[in-house]
Amino acid sequence: MKMALHYRLKILLISFLFFLSQGLVFAEVLFLSEGRGLFSSFLTSSLRSMFPLAICHVVLYSDLITMFIDEINIQIKYSPKYHNVTTRIEFLKNVKLLHMDLWKLVGQINIFFGWNLLILIINSFIYITYQLYWIFLALELKWPTLGMVEGLASLLYGMVSLFVLVNSCQSGTLKMKYLVASIELYAFWTAENIYLHHLKQEIFSQISYLPIYITGSEFFTIDRKYLAGIAANCCMYIMIFIQFFVTSDL
């Protein structure tokens, strides 16, 4: 129930910002350009609407995977301390099978959405950089307020949608790290449960060799490190563009 509420809030936020930004684009074309280019703006917005749809689908699958992993963590956390070795072994075998199923599911997600995510991330990088430069030009050339507001709304949509996507993709990896720590506590090693210890090591090896993460068609992993790289590149290109603008004025 909690996961469903969080997902609805994410989708509502992305949808609201998308329609707000596109509505301001139409308003700018209608009032400032006297309707010229209205059809091309509508066509561009229609094509651009595929990106939030792809984001919503990937966020849904990522949140479901995170929910499954989190449920295992909860079961381990609240499991009775007096479980015997046989019960612990059976539980860890189920965890091992579930991890394998989740890894296969993530593989299918990467195959189906891989190229969409690759294009989406590249588009987001260009889109955010463009909107930052647009806002700079609006401030420097003193464009109408509507153009400034449209640039800010579009920039906010691009940044929020990208952050929501990356955060959902990263959450599964973080929960998997918590799962490793929980298994370590659950399957403590003593001389009396050597098989339990070996099973625990098998699970750790499987998690290490079969990691669960969302990729952009295997070109990069969608996580917070990559988000930080995008932010750094956007700032670098904006500084270069501003230097060209200042140089041209001189």
One pLDDT digit (tens) per residue for the chain, 250 residues: 677 788 888 888 888 888 888 777 777 666 655 556 556 666 666 667 777 888 888 888 888 888 888 888 887 777 765 567 777 778 888 888 888 988 998 888 888 888 888 888 888 888 888 888 878 877 777 777 777 787 788 888 888 888 888 888 888 888 888 888 887 777 665 545 677 778 888 888 888 888 888 888 888 888 888 888 888 888 888 887 777 766 655 5
Q: Is 112 helix (H, G, I), strand (E, B) or coil?
A: helix
User: Residue 36 and residue 44: Cα distance in Å, rounded?
Assistant: 14
Single-letter amino acid code for the residue at 89: I
- List phi, psi (to 5°) of 217: 55, 40
The pair of structure tokens assigned to 126 is 């260009």
What are the structural domain ranges in the chain? 2-249
> What DSSP line would sit under 179-230, residue for residue?
HHHHHHHHT---TT-HHHHHHHHHHHHHHHHS----BSTTS-B-SHHHHHHH
Nearest to 165 by CA among 17, 5, 7, 16: 7
Q: Show the tokens assigned to 143.
A: 């464009």
Single pTM value for the model: 0.81
